[in-house]
Amino acid sequence: MIPASAFTELCVACPEGSYSNSSTGQKCRSCPPGSTPDITSNGRAANCRSCLPGTFANESASPACTPCPPGTFAASVGATSCDPCSPGEFTAAQGSTSCSACAVGTHFNSTGATVCASCPAGTFVHAEGEAECLMCPRGSYQDEAGSVECKPCPVGYVAPQLGHVKCSPCSPGSFYDVNIKTCMLCRPGTFTSAAAQTECSECENGTVAEGVGIDTCLSVAAPGWGFQAATAPVQCQPGTFNDGKWRTCQPCSPGSFAADMGSRMCPSCAKGSFASSIGSSYCEMAPPGSFVQSEGAVQAELCDSNHIAADSGSKECTRCQPPSFSFLPGGVECSLARPGEIYDHVKWPRLALDLAGIEQHDLVDTTDGQALPIDVLIQSWTDALTSYSGSSRPLHVLQVTQQSDVTQLTQIIVAVETSSPLPTKLQADNKLEKEFGDAIHQAAEAAESALDDLLDELKGSSDGKERRESDIDLLADLVSSGSFRDALVRQFGRANLFQGALAFSMVNVSMLEPPFNSTRALACSPGTFFSITDNERVCVPCPIGSYSSTSGALKCELCRRRTFSSEKGREKCKPCPLGSDAAPGASSCIECSWFTYECEGFWQDLVVAVCVGAALLRMLYKKIPKLCVGDQAVQQQDESVALMTAVRAHGRTFDGVRYAPMVRLSTLVARPTLSNAVSVCRALFQLMRCLVASPIWTT
């Protein structure tokens, strides 16, 4: 028997971080992470115990839980690691179960803070737990750290930016506007000599503050004179003046001028002249095609369409007396339609293209040998309209103006040609004639016409005017769309019109009212000729069998030989097909055959035919004796037989006795009978028919 004490001496304590009990079969097991052995009073561990909040055990078989370091915390039991404090929170002690929010006036913008930092001067925090400090708004400042709010600037002082640590006073020459709380420059004639002023003071008599933001008033110069810097006064140059209220000579404003030295004032430009810039020493006369009807003008205005100004310096434009006209604005003379032209009255919509940041001289100035930028721009604009609308729409430039203010703005006004230049009567006469091959097509045309009449009656008057209005509405929708504007800007970029990229916001297209109304001379189109009917100039379609291939024709030319025209209004005649011919002015071609006098080469064919016929007749003539008399050997044999027969019958021969064959043949040769002649003629006729039917005679 072994005593119990002996068994006790055989038990060994488990190593640190492990435990044993009946569930482990008295074997030592390591405690998992987040727990440590639960040691009893006898110094042995039978179980594991989870780490308390604020502590952790990140490995198995840990002998004890470790407190969380400052800046971290563990809020639950059995933690294997500690979490860092979030931005705006902190903890300074070990073994923390939570973090504290940063106090007002402090912040921390990263994790794991052990202490919060005070907000620097120029910033503030008015709430707890903030990660960032806020900058003082405009008009306020903060000169201390750890502030919960900013201080407003006193009157006369400003803080124009965010985060000011102090306010700045309004400088001399400016004043503090209490309404908008900012510094403003003193206007001309007023000043401030000290800082932080709330208003500007007027200059005393005999002194002046020229310009804006002046901090002191200076004595004025004598009329017509002016100071330059600190030197003695000098006479004002042409284009400047001094009326005794200024220290320096002032430039003349646009619309006025000063031609002489020492001017005391700038008189306004007279009617018919203008001054577009400041400091002008003379007024420009309105160029031909423009006018100025009021004094003090800064630019001349173009004459409207059908109005002219032939000379420079015009005060008004003269209206063209009908039927004369001046098609585009800025005309210098009235024109009349020439022979071959008719008067065309147009009513086209107007478009305005605004280009910001583009000066007028950028469009009209060019180097030698290069196209004007305005021409390239109009072509690009036309291409964009054609691409988007699906039809050709020529543009006519009406006016190019420039407005000078804060930014440069150039405006180009054009008229869009929307209708066909061909007169309505000519359009109707020039329609293609539709021919239907059978009764079904004709019935279909009649039914369609009846249906159109019914629809027109139901609609009430749907005429060409409504269609034109529809075209104008479509054009207005097109130019107002952003996609068209963007496409136009890209088109300008591809044409390299302007230096650098042109922003989409710098371009605008709009439709103007009223539309463009004018008169022009239009040459009659090819296929027509000019005529005067009832004192009216009209273009008449060329009649059948004629044509005109050029514009403005005074008459139509007859179709040449071997060509024809079966319709009115033809620009050229059609050639006759192979094997046919036509005389000049023909409306159709004639199929060529034997003895067709209209066909080319008839007489040459006739001569050849006569020669061939003569040769055949000669050959037949040689063959006729043989055909009629027969073979000579056979004839001699017949004569011998006849002679022998006669001898046998009469016993001798006589001179008057002839045998029958000889009589018949000799008679036929000596005196041809009528029946023989008919036989020969029939043979010749058959031969001629064969020749006529032969393909060699057909042209």
The pLDDT tens digits of the residues spanning 209-249 come to 988 999 999 889 899 898 887 678 899 999 999 999 899 99
Q: What pLDDT is attached to residue 557?
A: 94
- Among 101, 118, 148, the domain boundary falls at 101
Strand order in the sheet with 341-356: 395-404, 408-416, 341-356, 507-523
Say if CB 474 and CB 450 are below 8 A apart. no
Instruction: Enter the tokens of residue 304.
Output: 């409207």
Output b/e per residue, 627-638; b: 16+ Cβ within 10 A: eeeeeeeeeeeb
Q: What phi and psi, each to the nearest 5 degrees, are found at residue 373?
A: -55, -35
> Can you tell me the distance from the alpha carbon of 232 to that of 513, in angstroms, rounded to the nearest whole number?
57
The answer to whether residues 689 and 636 belong to one domain is: yes
The DSSP bridge partners found for residue 93 are none
For residue 595, what pLDDT is reported? 57
* ∠ Cα 591 596 602 (to 5°): 115
Distance from C-alpha of 369 to C-alpha of 364, rounded to nearest angstrom: 14
Predicted local confidence at residue 266, as pLDDT:
96
Would you tell me the crossing angle of helices 660-670 and 632-650 to the nearest 10 degrees?
A: 130
Phi, psi (rounded to 5 degrees) for 507:
-125, 135
The more confidently predicted of residues 521 and 492 is 521
Are residues 618 and 572 located together in one domain of the fold?
Answer: no
Give me the pLDDT at residue 406, please: 45
What is the DSSP pairing of strand 174-177 with strand 182-185?
A: antiparallel
Structure token digits, residue 424: 């309505």
81 versus 22: the higher-pLDDT residue is 81
State pLDDT tens for residues 318-344: 999 999 999 999 999 999 999 999 999
Domain of residue 44 covers 4-101
pLDDT-derived band at 495 (thresholds 50, 70, 90) equals: confident
Span 30-81, pLDDT tens digits = 888 988 887 776 667 778 888 999 999 888 877 888 999 999 999 999 898 9
Whose tokens are 């080319």? That residue is 600
For residue 151, being part of any structural domain is answered with no
- Give the model's confidence band at 674: pLDDT under 50 very low, under 70 low, under 90 confident, else very high: very low
CA-CA distance, 179 to 413, in Å (whole number)? 43
* Minimum mean pLDDT range among 132-141, 233-242, 522-531, 669-678: 669-678
**DSSP state letters, 47-77:** EEEEPPTTEE--STT-SSPEEPPTTEE--SS
Question: Is the Cβ–Cβ distance between 112 and 72 less than 8 Å?
Answer: yes
Residue pair 495/380 in contact (Cβ under 8 Å)? The answer is yes
Quick one: 13 and 81 in the same domain? Answer: yes
CATH number of the domain enclosing 86 = 2.10.50
User: Domain total for the chain?
Assistant: 3
Q: Looking at the chain, how many residues does it have?
A: 699
Residue ending a domain, choose from 83, 101, 119: 101
Residue 42: alpha-carbon gap to chain centroid? 98
Range name among 218-232, 417-431, 459-473 with the lowest pLDDT average: 417-431
Residue 552 falls inside a structural domain: yes
Of 4-13, 353-362, 535-544, 579-588, the least confident? 4-13
658 and 691 in a single domain? The answer is yes
**pLDDT of 428 above 50:** no
* Coil vs helix vs strand at 471: helix
The closest alpha carbon to 221, from 550, 232, 330, 213, belongs to 232
Q: Position of tokens 């420059």?
A: 185
Q: How far is CA 262 from CA 218, 244, 259, in A?
A: 20, 11, 9
Residue 7: φ, ψ to 5°:
-65, -40
Q: What is the mean pLDDT of residues 556-583?
A: 91
Closest CA to 172 of 204, 216, 208: 216
Which has more confidence, 61 or 647? 61
| Percentage of the chain lying above the pLDDT 70 cut | 73
pLDDT of residue 27: 79
3-state secondary structure of 580: strand
Identify the pLDDT of residue 670: 39
Are 32 and 77 in the same domain? yes
| Tokens, residue 563 | 């060509």
In a domain, residue 620? The reply is: yes
What is the token pair recorded at 42?
Answer: 């006898």
- Closest alpha carbon to 568 in 609, 607, 527: 527
Give bridge partners of residue 400 from the DSSP assignment. Answer: 412
Structure confidence at residue 382 (pLDDT)? 86
Residue 404 has pLDDT above 70, yes or no: no
Is the pLDDT at 455 greater than 60? The verdict is no
Q: Supply 28's token pair.
A: 């030592």
Domain boundary among 79, 101, 123: 101
The larger pLDDT score, comparing residue 76 to residue 671, is at 76
* Model confidence, pTM: 0.57
Q: What is the predicted pLDDT for the residue at 629? A: 56
Burial class from Cβ neighbours inside 10 Å (0-12, 13-18, 19+) for residue 168 reads middle
Question: Do 613 and 693 belong together in one domain?
Answer: yes
**Residue 63 near residue 85, CB atoms below 8 Å:** no
Cα 402 from Cα 614, distance rounded (Å): 93
Dig out the tokens for 189 from the structure: 């004639």
> Is residue 451 assigned to a domain?
no
Q: Rounded to an integer, what distance in angstroms lies between the CA atom of residue 11 and that of residue 5?
A: 11
CB 411 within 8 A of CB 400: yes
In this prediction, residue 666 carries a pLDDT of 38
The CA distance from 289 to 307, in Å, is: 9
Compute φ and ψ for 605, nearest 5 degrees: -65, -35
Judge if 615 and 547 occupy the same domain: no
Q: Identify residue 687 by its one-letter amino acid code.
A: L
Q: What is the mean pLDDT of residues 173-199?
A: 92
What is the average pLDDT across 89-97? 92
- Measured between alpha carbons, how far is 681 from 674 in angstroms, rounded to an integer? 11
Measured between alpha carbons, how far is 67 from 82 in angstroms, rounded to an integer?
9
d(Cα 260, Cα 267) in Å, to the nearest integer?
Answer: 11
Q: What is the pLDDT of residues 575-612, one digit of tens each?
A: 998 878 888 999 999 887 765 555 666 566 667 777 88
Long-range contacts of 154-159 (CB under 8 A, 24+ apart): 155/196, 155/198, 156/195, 156/196, 156/197, 156/198, 157/196, 158/182, 158/183
Confidence bin at 388 (pLDDT 50/70/90):
confident
176 token code pair: 């503090």
Q: Rounded distance, CA 340 to CA 555, Å?
A: 9
Please say if the pLDDT value at position 644 is more than 90: no
- Kindly report the average pLDDT of the chain as a whole number: 80
Answer yes or no: is pLDDT of 108 > 90: yes
SS3 540: strand
Answer with the residue of higher pLDDT: 454 or 317: 317
Instruction: State yes or no: pLDDT of 311 exceeds 60.
Output: yes
Q: How far apart are CA 542 and CA 279, in angstroms?
A: 64
Examine the domain organization and report whether 586 and 629 are in the same domain.
no
Say yes or no: 583 and 625 in one domain.
no
pLDDT at 439: 42
Residue 22 pLDDT: 62
Decide if 87 is inside a domain.
Answer: yes
Query: Is residue 38 in some structural domain?
Result: yes
Is the sign of the CA dihedral 577, 582, 588, 590 positive or negative?
negative
Comparing C-alpha atoms, which of 154, 206, 532, 479 is closest to residue 339? 532
561 with 621, same domain: the answer is no
Q: Which residue has the tokens 């006479």?
A: 235
Lowest mean pLDDT among 138-142, 146-150, 264-268, 466-470: 466-470
Are 9 and 75 within one domain?
A: yes
Burial zone of 154 (CB within 10 Å; 0-12 exposed, 13-18 middle, 19+ buried): exposed
> How far apart are alpha carbons 420 and 48 in whole angstroms?
102
- Got the DSSP string for 177-188? ETTTTEEEEPPT
What pLDDT, on a 0 to 100 scale, did the predictor assign at position 407? 57
Helix residue ranges, H only, 107-244: none
H helix or E strand, kind and range, residue 691:
helix 674-693
Query: Is residue 72 in some structural domain?
Result: yes
Q: Is the dihedral of CA 323, 328, 334, 336 positive or negative?
A: negative
**Distance between CA 29 and CA 467 in Å, rounded?**
98
Rounded average pLDDT over 159-182? 92
Q: Looking at residue 433, what is its pLDDT?
A: 38
Residue 686 lies in a domain: yes
Give CA–CA dist 485/101, Å, rounded.
56
pLDDT of 43: 66
Q: What is the pLDDT of residue 255?
A: 95
Q: What does the pLDDT average to over 543-550?
A: 94
